[in-house]
Chain A
Amino acid sequence: GENVEQHPSTLSVQEGDSAVIKCTYSDSASNYFPWYKQELGKGPQLIIDIRSNVGEKKDQRIAVTLNKTAKHFSLHITETQPEDSAVYFCAALESGGGADGLTFGKGTHLIIQP
């Protein structure tokens, strides 16, 4: 089955700086890579996703890059703000389709220092 590794487990950045979280996956058949944000007391919520036929995707201050050859993908948050503080999870989905569960990384606790 799929295995997703995520680093770092904790990331502390100054407000206004950029944050980068990295993930690697093991199954070359995986073709969908979402990022979820979990705020305290809430369930995870999708913030951005990328499919294997695309190398980069941006949505305002967040972007995701995918390197299929190396089997890794990254989340980039620019101009960080206090509300970006949360736990972020990367995930991968095998090409079996959306009926299967996602394989998640272990999560990154992002702390934005004022």
Chain B
Amino acid sequence: DVKVTQSSRYLVKRTGEKVFLECVQDMDHENMFWYRQDPGLGLRLIYFSYDVKMKEKGDIPEGYSVSREKKERFSLILESASTNQTSMYLCASSPLAGGSYEQYFGPGTRLTVT
């Protein structure tokens, strides 16, 4: 089974702190994604990566950056956390080849910024 793990289930940070959310997948997938999930807004794509050291902006990249130094690991960085970044953050991965577009999601990290 594909497994996508996220470093924390719950995280509380203060305004202005630098926050790192880590995601690791064990299926050698090329593509990795970061979404945020808010009530009534569904899932919105922040950033994605299709290869090591490659990254592409999604629909809402402002206030976020990402890092992909190894194929299995994709990090989301909040340079200076703000209260409007309080949300559920979901990481996902998918294979590039094979005709499958299925994305496999981690359990999510609920981030609260106070």
Contact = CB atoms under 8 A, between A and B. Distances in A.
- What class of interface size applies to chain A in its complex with B? 20 to 34
A89 B43 contact: yes
Interface string B56-96: 10110000000000000000000000000000001010111
A1 B44 CA distance: 13
* Residues of B in contact with A, size category: 20 to 34
Interface in A69-114: 89, 93, 98-107
B61 to A, nearest CB: 11
Given A43-B4, A106-B42, A99 B50 contact: yes
Interface of A: 1, 6, 9, 32, 34, 36, 41-46, 49, 89, 93, 98-107
Interface of B: 4, 30-31, 33, 35, 40-45, 48, 50, 56, 58-59, 90, 92, 94-96, 100-103, 105-108
